[in-house]
């Protein structure tokens, strides 16, 4: 054996390496949350509500103490600053965290195409069928995705497979940063179904999908019979080892609900009939037109997870241009006061063209742009409003429902819920559908959806009621782990508009930034005190249409506007401040996006003919 000795330099390197190994590692965040007392919070949405302290231990709410009680010894103290504590939201249907695989179609011997025609059908053609897939086994929720949900106050989400006849089972997961094994709250919540199947071959039509599902559930019943005969020692063929059939047997026994994708009322009723025929417990996901089947849903106690996908808003043709307010549905135009015939004649003569006007000039003034008949536009708006207000109708009929983001993400979901509240859904009902109602639907009502001892320490501290547009999340606790967010302190607008200054109207904006020059249209309505609301529309660099809400204020002759729009997955917040001079606007603004902050200049021109009102009187 030959022994070698390192040179002095090598010995020094080895010594340094040994010292490095012996040095303590940098401190890491604790895997388990420290005992925490969240002090000075409200659990009731009143400014004068009593303040309490929430004591958190081992990821649970341990105690709820009076506000004047001292925090328990050894607890880390978080100051709630009088903010409103609300159970964290639960997204009851989110397509995030994994990719839904395509089912393996051939699970029996393939057909011999060189042989004679088969007498029997395939016994295991599984196109679109994979109920044994578990989202919990494939879960890989990326931190950047989890952060999007946390920023909107969501502490948990249902990671749901989709797009197949039987796509598999969903998993309820928390949104904190954690390994999959620690993030999963419930490994199997619902089975998920849709009238859809990827890949070529049979089935590929609605009729084929229905037949495939019926046949599969009949096969599952036979599987259950073969199992029982085998366990009883009775003669008969051996039951195949088929995990998909075994899961289907569990569904037939009512051990798990099947959440079925359906937007139209026809599809809702198809699932109700199929569920009754097969003997499985069904729920509905999507549900845009589920309100049309509200009576059947209520009678059978079928819950609905609403994704609130209303499509692009249809403009209200009864809205006064630039006012942002339309007439009530069915309200007729107010009749104009009659005028003497001679006055009408004089007015008509004054409006007539000058005698020397040429026919060519008149031809040039004609606007040849096609506009749909008013009745068509009214009907399109009515149908869009019906889809938007479906949750209100379900609530009125007593149908249990929760909200899910589908493929649109949490920010759009929360914005749409707030829109529902503005259009008639009671705020308490909307909040319950995001918290307690969603927890009940997912079977975790003893853990999530309430602020009481024994429940998971998964809640948020809000600056205002979370369904107010101005509300912001200040803190989010998920399993007792704290996430703190920057709260944007917005100064309340000061001052009223100067005499004769009004922002009401349709404005064309030109926005010049270092990146590009873009055009936008905003329709604004100003109240007498200076508050401004409205809508905006613009185009992305790729040519896609973008619309949204605008809010702001006029003080003196200064107009301030704020709005947000998305370009792909990136959201951009815009704030504009400019000086009004009649029908002109000149100012600058700031944009904020994931890549940073940027400035821009803005110029605006108001379209002529807008109805502008100042303190209830027409501006001359």
Rounded CA separation 443/446 (Å): 8
199 and 59 within one domain: no
pLDDT at 20: 38
Whether residue 391 contacts residue 288, with contact meaning beta carbons closer than 8 Å, is answered with no
- Shared domain check, 170 and 250: yes
Which whole number is the average pLDDT over 577-588?
91
- Cα separation, 305 vs 390, whole angstroms: 12
Pick from 593, 587, 565: which is nearest to 512 by CA? 587
Phi-psi region of 179 (alpha: psi -120 to 50; beta: other; left: phi over 0): beta
pLDDT tier at 8, thresholds 50, 70, 90: very low
What's the pLDDT at 476? 97
Are 459 and 602 found together in one domain? Answer: no
pLDDT band at 568 (very low <50, low <70, confident <90, very high): low
**Of 306, 326, 354, which one is at a domain's C-terminal end?**
306
Higher-scoring residue by pLDDT: 596, 557 = 557
pLDDT greater at residue 516 or residue 84 = 84
- Domain match, 153 and 244 both: yes
> How many whole angstroms separate alpha carbon 575 and alpha carbon 272?
48
Task: Name the token pair of 33.
Answer: 């949350």
pLDDT in tens, 518-542: 888 998 988 878 888 888 888 776 6
State the Cα–Cα distance between residues 249 and 535, nearest whole angstrom: 52
| CATH number of the domain encompassing residue 465 | 2.30.40.10
CA distance 569 to 551: 23
Residue 503 has pLDDT above 80, yes or no: yes
CATH of the domain at 209: 3.20.20.140
Compute the mean pLDDT over every residue in the chain, rounded to the nearest whole number.
84
What the block records as the tokens of 509 is 């904006």
Please state the domain count of the chain.
3
pLDDT at 325 over 70: no
Q: What is the pLDDT of residues 405-414, one digit of tens each?
A: 999 999 999 9
Burial code (b: 16+ CB inside 10 Å, e: under 16) for 68-80 equals eeebeeebeebeb
d(CA 210, CA 216): 10
Tell me what percent of the residues of the chain surpass a pLDDT of 90. 60
pLDDT at 66 over 90: yes
Q: Which residue has the tokens 């600053």?
A: 81
Segment 369-387, tens digit of pLDDT: 778 899 999 999 999 999 9
DSSP string covering 276-334, please?
HHHT--EEEEE-TTGGGGHHHHHHHT--EEE-----SPPP-TTBPTTTS-BPPTTPPPP
Q: Are residues 213 and 141 in the same domain?
A: yes
Statement to judge: residues 142 and 262 lie in one domain: yes
| C-beta of residue 255 within 8 angstroms of C-beta of residue 248 | no
- Let me know whether 273 and 179 are in one domain: yes
pLDDT at 598: 86
Do both 174 and 252 map to the same domain?
yes
Let me know whether 78 and 100 are in one domain: no
Residue 231: inside a domain: yes
Q: Does residue 613 sit within a domain?
A: no
Poorest-confidence range of 183-197, 244-258, 576-590? 576-590
Q: Is residue 23 part of a domain?
A: no
Of 286, 306, 326, which closes a domain? 306
Based on the fold, state whether residues 83 and 224 are members of the same structural domain.
Answer: no
Q: Which residue among 306, 330, 349 closes a domain?
A: 306
pLDDT at residue 172, as a whole number: 98
Q: How far apart are the first and last CA of the chain?
A: 108
Q: Is the predicted pLDDT of residue 110 greater than 90, yes or no?
A: no
pLDDT, position 30: 52
* Enclosing domain of residue 43: 31-88+449-489
Length of the chain: 620
DSSP 66-100: ETTSPPPTT-EEEEEEEEEEEEPEEEEEE--SS-P
Segment 408-413 long-range contacts (CB within 8 Å, at least 24 positions apart): 408/307, 408/309, 409/148, 410/89, 410/91, 410/94, 410/148, 410/149, 410/151, 410/152, 410/154, 411/148, 411/151, 411/152, 411/571, 413/91, 413/152, 413/307, 413/308
b/e map 450-463, b = 16+ CB within 10 Å: bbeeebbbbbbbbb
Contact status, residue 3 vs residue 42, Cβ threshold 8 Å: no
3-state SS, residue 180: helix
Q: What is the pLDDT of residue 256?
A: 95
Q: How far apart are CA 468 and CA 551, in angstroms?
A: 13
267-321 residue pLDDT tens: 999 999 999 999 999 999 999 999 999 999 999 999 999 999 988 888 888 865 4
**Residue 177 and residue 266 in one domain:** yes
Phi first, then psi, for residue 79 (nearest 5°) are: -85, 120
Q: Is the pLDDT of residue 21 over 90?
A: no
| Structural tokens at position 411 | 């920010």
């Amino acid at each position: 054996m030959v022994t070698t000795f390192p040179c002095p330099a090598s010995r020094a390197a080895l010594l340094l390496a040994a010292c490095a190994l012996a040095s303590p590692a940098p401190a890491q965040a604790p895997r388990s949350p420290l005992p925490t007392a969240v002090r000075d919070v409200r659990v009731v949405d009143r400014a004068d509500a009593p303040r309490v302290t929430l004591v958190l231990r081992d990821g649970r709410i341990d105690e709820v103490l009076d506000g004047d009680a001292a925090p328990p010894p050894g607890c880390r103290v978080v100051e709630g600053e009088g903010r409103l504590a609300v159970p964290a939201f639960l997204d009851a249907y989110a397509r995030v965290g994994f990719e839904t695989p395509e089912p393996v179609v051939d699970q029996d011997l393939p057909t011999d195409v060189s042989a004679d025609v088969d007498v029997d059908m395939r016994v295991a053609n599984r196109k679109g069928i994979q109920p044994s897939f578990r989202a919990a086994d494939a879960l890989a929720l990326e931190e950047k995705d989890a952060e999007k949900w946390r920023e909107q106050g969501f502490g948990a989400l249902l990671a749901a497979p989709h797009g197949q006849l039987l796509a598999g089972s969903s998993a309820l997961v928390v949104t904190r940063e954690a390994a999959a094994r620690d993030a999963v709250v419930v490994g199997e919540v619902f089975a998920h179904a849709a009238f859809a199947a990827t890949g070529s071959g049979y089935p590929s039509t609605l009729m084929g999908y229905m037949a495939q599902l019926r046949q599969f559930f009949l096969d599952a019943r036979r599987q259950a019979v073969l199992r029982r005969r085998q366990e009883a020692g009775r003669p008969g063929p051996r039951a195949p080892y088929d995990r998909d059939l075994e899961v289907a047997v569990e569904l037939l026994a009512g051990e798990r609900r099947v959440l079925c994708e359906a937007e139209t009322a026809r599809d809702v009723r198809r699932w109700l009939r199929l569920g009754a025929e097969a003997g499985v417990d069904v729920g509905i996901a999507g549900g845009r037109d589920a309100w049309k089947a509200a009576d059947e849903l209520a009678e059978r106690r079928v819950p609905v997870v609403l994704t609130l996908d209303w499509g692009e808003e249809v403009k209200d043709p009864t809205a006064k241009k630039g006012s942002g307010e339309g007439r009530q549905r069915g309200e007729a135009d107010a009749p104009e006061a009659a005028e003497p015939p001679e006055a009408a004649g004089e007015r008509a003569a004054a409006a007539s063209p000058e005698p020397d006007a040429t026919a060519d000039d008149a031809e040039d003034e004609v606007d040849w742009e096609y506009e749909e008949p008013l009745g068509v536009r009214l009907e399109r708006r009515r149908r869009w409003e019906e889809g938007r207000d479906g949750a209100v109708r379900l609530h009125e009929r007593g149908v249990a429902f929760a909200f899910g983001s589908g493929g649109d993400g949490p920010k759009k979901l929360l914005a749409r819920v707030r829109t529902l509240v503005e259009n008639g859904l009671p705020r308490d009902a909307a909040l319950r559908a995001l918290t307690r109602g969603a927890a009940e639907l997912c079977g975790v009502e003893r853990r999530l959806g309430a602020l009481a001892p024994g429940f998971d320490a998964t809640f948020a501290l809000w600056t205002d009621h979370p369904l107010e547009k101005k509300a912001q999340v200040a803190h989010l606790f998920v399993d007792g782990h704290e996430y703190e967010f920057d709260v944007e302190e917005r100064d309340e607008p000061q001052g009223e508009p100067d005499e004769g200054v009004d922002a009401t109207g349709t404005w064309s904006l030109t926005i010049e930034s270092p990146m590009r020059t873009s055009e936008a249209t905003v329709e604004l309505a100003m109240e007498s005190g200076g508050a401004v609301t409205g809508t905006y529309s613009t185009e992305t660099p790729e040519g896609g249409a973008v619309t949204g809400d605008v809010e702001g204020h006029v003080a003196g002759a200064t107009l301030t506007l704020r709005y947000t729009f998305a370009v792909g997955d990136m959201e951009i917040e815009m704030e504009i401040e400019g000086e009004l001079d009649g029908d002109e606007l000149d100012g600058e603004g700031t944009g904020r996006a994931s890549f940073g902050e940027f400035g821009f200049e803005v110029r605006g021109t108001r379209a002529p003919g807008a109805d502008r009102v100042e303190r209830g009187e027409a501006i001359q």
